[in-house]
Chain A
């Protein structure tokens, strides 16, 4: 089995939303933090990667479709290729969604919705996770929980790519992709400090 995964290159003109990414090979089980100022192109990069890597990719973002009233449990059930009640119960427990399993998506709070999206990809069990600020809206407890869940995924050989504004999340990643004006540069994640970037 391959021990690495190929992340495709992206070259986009300014017309489509400028993005310059050379592509890279990544070890299975590695994590990547995508960081940059507001509007630098973090989400554009993640969406472009999604289009190129489509297939079994786990997608997490805090975007909620309007008027969607599917129930929490149903969302988790349809995420699974081979539906298993055991898996459904497991992720409902892990993300403390049991009490709201029969609620519609439209009545969830932002934090509850984020937990549901994380539970959904966990049930989907993809090789690669693409997450747009996965810790957004989570309270202090679930932020901590998410860290151990991501570590768990990495131990099982998943590649986890996420955008973040949190220095801790950057430092604990194996790689840092710094995005500036639609250009991606590779930096050392462990030593990174937002302070040193300054306002530019």
Chain B
């Protein structure tokens, strides 16, 4: 990594922010109703009830998932960690599968709003289990494996519920699992915005501890920092973001895994306060870009994120010969 002048840094920040604004505007202008340049459309229901919530959702979810992924990678010291590793997304899927099954077999009626609540409850339940288990498991690797196992367990139950669900309801379940920014209202956007504000507030307050914690447990202890407290902060923050976003948008793949790595490509700093904005911006760009493309090609968001993102990252890894240890 070479030194980069502050002028260069400013230009990069400005350019990336411009890309976010540009993509956001593009996402407001384009939709299933086609392009809308005319001013009268700006006051229409399509704009306020569909496009604006969808655009804002992509924007905030992108940032949230990217940050969640970044903190989990930092916590587990593992570049492959992402919001799905702790089993939180599986918990949400399980909730949705349960509601879909119960809708047929118990209530005999399907409540669409319940899906959302169930996803949120499922994600939070997994998070709670992890928090309780965390007290006994002081080894992070064990916790990681525990989370993955929890995910498998939820996945198995999910399959059982799917099997029991009515044929008519199954497509709902499958569409939800493909991920989407489109089935949201401004209220949902507000939920995610609030979670983001809370989480960023917590991390900014603890930024120095997190930086020192990343250097290792012994160094943290030597500077009066309690490692378990810092890891709890990171688990809570990434877990809350994942839970809320997954509940509203479904299990969005790839953004949480790739955005932190991509952010580090164009941004030189590695301390919390200086890296978080770059990670968030990168997440926003990926989410908005993929969402616009998903609408343009009429494909689910998860297919787009992985279809475009994965080869790109593979190519970058293949190209990059200068990496040595990590």
Measured as residues with beta carbon below 8 angstroms from the partner, the interface class of chain B is 20 to 34
Nearest-neighbour CB distance to chain B for A7, whole angstroms, equals 15
Which residues of A have CB within 8 Å of B211?
70, 74, 78
In the complex, the chain B residue whose C-beta lies closest to that of A66 is B77
In the complex, the chain B residue whose C-beta lies closest to that of A55 is B224
- A56 touching B224, Cβ below 8 Å: yes
Number of A residues near B (Cβ < 8 Å) is 35
> A121-150: which have CB < 8 Å to B?
124, 126, 130
Q: Within 8 Å of chain A (Cβ to Cβ): is B269?
A: yes
Q: Which of A17-25, A26-34, A98-106, A188-196 contacts B (4 or more CB under 8 A)?
A: A98-106
Task: Please encode chain B, from 77 to 88, with 1 for each CB lying within 8 Å of some chain A CB and 0 for all others.
Answer: 111000000000
- B222 touching A68, Cβ below 8 Å: no
- B218 touching A50, Cβ below 8 Å: yes
Known contacts A47-B218, A55-B224, A59-B219; is-contact A74 B270 (Cβ 8 Å): yes
> A2-28: which have CB < 8 Å to B?
none
In the complex, the chain A residue whose C-beta lies closest to that of B219 is A59
- A106 touching B325, Cβ below 8 Å: yes
Which residues of A have CB within 8 Å of B2?
102
Cα distance, A64 to B3, chains bound together (Å): 23
Q: Within 8 Å of chain A (Cβ to Cβ): is B12?
A: no
Cα distance, A64 to B223, chains bound together (Å): 17
Cα distance, A54 to B2, chains bound together (Å): 36
Which residues of A have CB within 8 Å of B212?
78-79
- A59 touching B208, Cβ below 8 Å: no
Which residues of B have CB within 8 Å of A54?
221-222, 224
Cα distance, A69 to B270, chains bound together (Å): 7
- A68 touching B215, Cβ below 8 Å: yes
Which residues of B have CB within 8 Å of A101?
3
In the complex, the chain A residue whose C-beta lies closest to that of B78 is A67
Cα distance, A101 to B3, chains bound together (Å): 9
Q: Within 8 Å of chain A (Cβ to Cβ): is B268?
A: yes
Interface centre among A47, A67, A103 (most CB of B within 10 A): A67
Nearest-neighbour CB distance to chain B for A26, whole angstroms, equals 18
Q: Within 8 Å of chain B (Cβ to Cβ): is A87?
A: no
- A59 touching B222, Cβ below 8 Å: yes
Which residues of B have CB within 8 Å of A124?
223
Which residues of A have CB within 8 Å of B108?
none
Which residues of A have CB within 8 Å of B11?
none
Cα distance, A162 to B222, chains bound together (Å): 15
Which residues of B have CB within 8 Å of A126?
222
Task: Please encode chain B, from 282 to 326, with 1 for each CB lying within 8 Å of some chain A CB and 0 for all others.
Answer: 000000000000000000000000000000000000000011111
Interface centre among A69, A79, A102 (most CB of B within 10 A): A69
Across the interface, A130 reaches (CB within 8 A) one of B214, B222, B268, B322, namely B222
Which residues of A have CB within 8 Å of B112?
none
Shortest beta-carbon contacts, A-B, top 6: A106-B326, A59-B222, A70-B270, A106-B325, A67-B326, A57-B222
A-B contact pairs, 23 of them (CB 8 A): A50-B221, A55-B224, A56-B222, A63-B218, A64-B325, A65-B215, A66-B77, A66-B78, A67-B79, A68-B326, A69-B326, A70-B270, A71-B270, A75-B215, A78-B208, A79-B223, A102-B2, A103-B1, A106-B324, A107-B323, A124-B223, A126-B222, A130-B222
B interface residues (Cβ-Cβ under 8 A, vs A): 1-3, 73, 77-79, 208, 211-212, 214-216, 218-219, 221-224, 264, 268-271, 322-326
A interface residues (Cβ-Cβ under 8 A, vs B): 47, 50-51, 54-59, 61, 63-71, 74-75, 77-79, 101-104, 106-108, 120, 124, 126, 130
- Contacts A50-B218, A50-B222 known; 10 new A-B pairs at CB < 8 A: A54-B222, A57-B223, A61-B218, A63-B216, A71-B268, A77-B271, A78-B211, A107-B322, A107-B324, A126-B222
